[in-house]
Amino acid sequence: MSSEPLRVALAGLGTVGAGVVKLLDANRDLIARRAGRTIEVAAVSARDRARDRGVDLARFAWTDDVADLAGRDDVDVVVELIGGSDGPALTLARRAIAAGKGFVTANKAMIAHHGAELAEAAEAAGVALKFEAAVAGGVPVIKGLREGAAANAIAQVDGILNGTCNYILSEMEAKGSDFADVLAEAQRLGFAEADPSFDIDGVDAAHKLAILATVAFGTRPDFDGVEVRGIRDVVAGDIAEAAALGYRVRLIGVAAADAHGLYQRVTPCLVREGHPLARVTGATNAVVAEGDFVGRLLFEGRGAGEGPTASAVVADLIDIARGIGGTAFGMPVASLSAAARADPGARRERAYLRFIVQDRAGVLAELTAGMRDGGVSIESMIQRGAGDSEGVLVAMTTHEGPARAVAAALERLEGSASLIGRPMVMPIVD
Ligand SMILES: NC(=O)c1ccc[n+]([C@@H]2O[C@H](COP(=O)([O-])OP(=O)(O)OC[C@H]3O[C@@H](n4cnc5c(N)ncnc54)[C@H](O)[C@@H]3O)[C@@H](O)[C@H]2O)c1
Ligand SMILES: N[C@@H](CCO)C(=O)O
């Protein structure tokens, strides 16, 4: 055991930051034995010094300006738990790495947008950059793919990457609760982001997917290449229709890399009951990856909240304390390929389509004509509802075909007086 502790600065003392302090306190001896040295918090910074976080902060040096943590001589590693893709988090990352400090973050937004730049800077400075907590919270999926599956070519990763959305969808499914009530509960439980639109509009999952794709395929991070749709438009009727068909509604991130290029999408999907992602409920995250030699891998666990996220942050610190640096994405940035984006319209899949329509003669004919004109083959169709002023629900499933055909069909129906609101499209995952 080394007598030299690993000295850490913590930037941000919210849900995750306070969790890191609690975990380092609770498992101090175990962590020291595993890391070969103790891990000591030397300095901290947050917005509000006086706030009670349930941990004793008086023992740590305090800095009001978070950027000052990067320049401290008594710190080996800076841990950034502030959030935000740019602003103080990015300034701190750049300064800490330039100052020769290791850098650990849970900030998926920053890594999705600036990961390549920061990884290149870390390589040049010879310091570790680690972000296990940024994807799937406590689930060691970055380490699993970057190290455990490093020998494999990976063709596709699919994941439930946002605990808030999965919690909302599975609570709506189990209790028939309203979207807004379930969202408020997710915020109270501490796994929804401060701005929940990042969660429910799919942006948070897209950040994580872009990072996962980089680690899985060795392609440069391409957040702007992720097609993103969130769960705002999922209604109770969709969840009921999905159940009647033998499916569950889940927000799924999929990334695939092949000869057509890199394909990345986050969207609510119908997932067949029996698929490993269908039975994932609550704030749990799960990632399925297919390796050419290892076969299917499933990573699953708590994707958010104080304890799980702190667990992943401290695992990164333990690696650094052990002297395990390595490259941030599993290979040097210069070796990451700049994959072309695959045409999303060419992707072949089955889809669920839901319309709220006026209940009058000719409406179904209009819908099916739209499908015919777009080149979509309907597999099943059902109409439900009382035919009042709120309209009736029509749900269809399609045979497998290119995604562009469904888009073309919906374009033909756009502006139709028969439609109430916008149609909902969800790919089907069997
Ligand atoms: N909460 C989770 O379950 C979870 C899971 C995985 C990843 N993350 C990520 O971890 C990071 C932190 O999340 P959180 O939930 O703990 O957030 P939080 O809002 O609970 O805490 C943020 C902390 O940062 C501090 N802060 C903000 N701006 C600052 C500034 N300019 N200077 C100094 N301090 C500042 C705040 O005072 C607060 O202490 C984010 O990047 C988030 O995306 C969170
Ligand atoms: N808001 C995120 C936290 C974990 O990144 C979620 O709900 O999954």
Which ligand lies nearest to the CA atom of residue 208 in the structure? 2
Nearest-atom index, ligand 1, CA of 107: 41
Q: What is the model's pLDDT at position 390? A: 82
Give the residues surrounding ligand 2 with Cβ less than 6 Å away: 137, 162-164, 191-193, 199, 204, 303-304
Rounded to 5, what percent of the chain is helix, strand, coil? 40, 25, 35
101 is a catalytic site residue: no
Average pLDDT, stretch 33-57? 95
Which ligand lies nearest to the CA atom of residue 65 in the structure? 1
| Residue 357 to residue 78: CA distance in whole angstroms | 55
Give the residues surrounding ligand 1 with Cβ less than 6 Å away: 12-17, 45-48, 66, 81-83, 88, 106-108, 133, 137, 190-191, 194, 304-305, 309
pLDDT of 430 > 90? The answer is yes
In 3-state terms, what secondary structure has residue 383? strand
Which ligand lies nearest to the CA atom of residue 79 in the structure? 1
Query: Closest Cα to residue 161, out of 90, 211, 215, 221?
Result: 211
Q: What is the model's pLDDT at position 182? A: 82
According to DSSP, the β-strands at 348-357 and 226-228 are unpaired
pLDDT of 24 > 70? The answer is yes
Domain ranges of the chain: 6-137+322-334, 141-302, 345-429
Question: Which class for 110: exposed (0-12), middle (13-18), buried (19 or more C-beta within 10 A)?
Answer: buried
| Residue 48 to residue 28: CA distance in whole angstroms | 26
Query: Percent of the chain scored above 70 by pLDDT?
Result: 99
Radius of gyration of the CA atoms of the chain, in A: 23
Which residue's CA is minimally distant from atom 21 of ligand 1? 14
> What stretches of 126-218 show up as alpha helix (H) in DSSP?
141-143, 163-175, 179-188, 197-200, 203-217
Of the options 3.30.465.10, 3.20.20.80, 3.30.360.10, 3.40.50.300, the CATH number for the domain spanning 141-302: 3.30.360.10
Topology (CATH) of 6-137+322-334: Rossmann fold (3.40.50)
More confident position, 258 or 331: 331
Average pLDDT, stretch 188-199? 79
| Residue 371 to residue 194: CA distance in whole angstroms | 41
Chain segment 116-128, per-residue pLDDT in tens:
999 999 999 999 9
**Above 0.95 for ipTM, yes or no?**
yes
Confidence band of 157 (pLDDT split at 50, 70, 90): very high
Chain segment 362-389, per-residue pLDDT in tens:
999 999 999 999 999 999 999 998 767 7
Q: List the catalytic residue out of 101, 130, 143, 208.
A: 208
Q: Is the dihedral of CA 41, 42, 43, 48 positive or negative?
A: positive
Q: What mean pLDDT is reported for the chain? A: 95
Q: Report how far ligand 2's centroid is from the alpha carbon of 164 (Å).
A: 6
Q: 6-137+322-334 with 345-429: one CATH topology?
A: no
Query: Closest Cα to residue 357, out of 391, 322, 325?
Result: 391
Q: What HEC string does 247-294 produce? A: EEEEEEEEEEEECCEEEEEEEEEEEEECECCCCCCCCEEEEEEEECCC
| Residue 321 to residue 290: CA distance in whole angstroms | 31
Which residue's CA is minimally distant from atom 15 of ligand 1? 15
Q: What is the model's pLDDT at position 387? A: 67
Q: What is the model's pLDDT at position 397? A: 98
For residues 426 and 269, is the Cβ–Cβ distance under 8 A? yes
Q: What is the helix (H) or strand (E) element at residue 77, kind and residue range? A: strand 77-80
| 345-429: CATH superfamily | ACT domain (3.30.70.260)
pLDDT of 318 > 70? The answer is yes
**Hey, what amino acid is at 23?**
L
